[in-house]
Amino acid sequence: MDITKSSNPVFGKDIFNRSVTGTDEGVMTINGTINKTGIMLLIVIFAATFTWRKFFGAIDPAIPGAMPEGVMGWMLGGAIGGFILALVTVFRPRSAAMTAPIYAVCEGLFLGAISAMFEGRFPGLVMRAVSLTFGVFVIMLLLYRSGTIRATEKFRTVIIAATGGIALVYLVSFIAGMFGANLGFMQGNSMVSIGFSLVVVVVAALNLILDFDMITRGADARAPQYMEWYGAFGLMVTLIWLYLEMLRLLSKLSSRN
């Protein structure tokens, strides 16, 4: 069984094939992965609450949405820490039981701060983004479980190519920003910019189908139990990406009103 392909970089290697175990004891299960995903989600929420409260406790009423200095450090620390822990988890899956929860803490600190910044500018935006993110998650899960959308080889190829293209665009945008330039179609609230964000949201949502499929294949391949944490970690990476893109899209739409 080939379980090596996914546009999610966490699942991009033959990670499950190399982790297959030949016993019935301590094997990866779908329910176990779901439980660990729930644990990581709760950790993210609790950590996000911390920076969210710090933001609104230090915000300058005269500059709504401006990031307070005391919160900026937590946000940057969470972003950098989450990136480092993601790399450690990807290259050392056996440590996922320890690194995945810490990754959730770091991402929660980052998400709480960035969410508060958007909320300061556009009240009510975060709740809409959260609701849409979980709504899309449920819809994608139902579509996958019902077989309406199948992770065929053609589907994988298209989503992998689209995700790689988006990653390249973001990389070019980051490098251009370092030299004072910017890609106009990614900024502002023009219809082109909104259209780009909508495309990214759709691609992120479709990545969930590949993640569900990879977790299912991992369980079928009798991967060791620690891969439940790894599977939950990979799913959280996609969910966080989807949520951030929802924030960007909704903020562009709100700024047009």
Q: Residue 2: what pLDDT?
A: 42
SS3 label, residue 27: strand
All structural domains of the chain with their residue ranges: 9-17+25-255
Nearest by Cα to 114 from 62, 55, 63: 55
- Answer whether residue 176 shows pLDDT above 50: yes
Q: Side chain identity at 215, as an amino acid letter? A: I
Q: Residue 16: what pLDDT?
A: 57
Q: Residue 7: what pLDDT?
A: 53
More confident residue, 257 or 150: 150
- Answer whether residue 221 shows pLDDT above 70: yes
Reported as type and span, the H/E element at residue 7 is none
Q: Which stretch of 16-30, 40-54, 66-80 has the lowest confidence by average pLDDT?
A: 16-30
Confidence of residue 171 (pLDDT cuts 50, 70, 90): confident
